[in-house]
Structure 1
Amino acid sequence: MAMANSSETHNFKVVLLGEGCVGKTSLVLRYVEDKFNSKHMSTVQASFLNKKLSIDGNRVNLSIWDTAGQEKFHALGPIYYRSSNGAVLVYDITDEDSFQKVKSWVKELRKMLGTEISLIIVGNKSDLEKDRHVNLEEAESYAEKVKAIHYQTSAKLNQGVEEMFLALTQKMLDEAKEKAAQQSHLTRNNSQRIVTVVDDDQVPTNKSCCSSG
Structure 2
Amino acid sequence: MSEGASSTAAAAPKKAGGSVGGTLAPLAKYKLVFLGDQSVGKTSIITRFMYDNFDRHYQATIGIDFLSKTMYLEDRTVRLQLWDTAGQERFRSLIPSYIRDSSVAVVVYDVTNRASFLNTSKWVEDVRAERGNDVVICLVGNKTDLGNDKRQVSTEEGEEKASKDGLLFMECSAKAGYNVKSLFRKLATSLPGKQSKQEHTV
TM-score range, shorter chain: 0.7 to 0.9
State the SS of the aligned residue for 2:61.
coil
Hey, what does 1:133 align to over in structure 2?
Answer: 152
Q: CA deviation at 1:176?
A: 1.1
| 1:27 pairs with one of 45, 60, 64 | 45
What per-residue deviation string (whole Å, max 9, x for no partner) do you get for residues 109-148 of structure 1?
A: 1122111111111100000122000122121011012221
Out of 159, 171, 179, the position equivalent to 1:152 is: 171
Specify the alignment match of 2:94 in structure 1: 76
Match of 2:117 in 1: 99
Please state if 1:176 is matched with 2:193.
yes
RCO higher in structure (CA 8 A, sep ≥6): 2
Aligned to 1:51: 69
More helix by share: 1
How far apart are the structure 2 equivalents of 1:104 and 1:135?
20
- Per the alignment, residue 36 of structure 1 pairs with 54
Cα deviation, 1:140-198, whole Å, max 9, x if unaligned, reads 011012221111110111000011011111111xx217xxxxxxxxxxxxxxxxxxxxx
User: What is the RMSD computed on CA atoms of the aligned residues?
Assistant: 1.8
Once the two structures are superposed, residues 9-30 of structure 1 have per-residue CA deviations (whole angstroms, 9 ceiling, x without a partner) of 2210000000111011100010
Instruction: Say how many residue pairs are matched.
Output: 174
Q: CA deviation at 1:39?
A: 1.1
Identity of aligned residues (%): 36
> Between Structure 1 and Structure 2, whose CA radius of gyration is higher?
1
User: Among residues 13, 29, 37, which one is paired with 1:11 in the alignment?
Assistant: 29
Q: What TM-score do you get using the length of structure 1 for normalisation? A: 0.77
Under a length normalisation based on structure 2, what TM-score does the superposition of the two structures give? Answer: 0.81
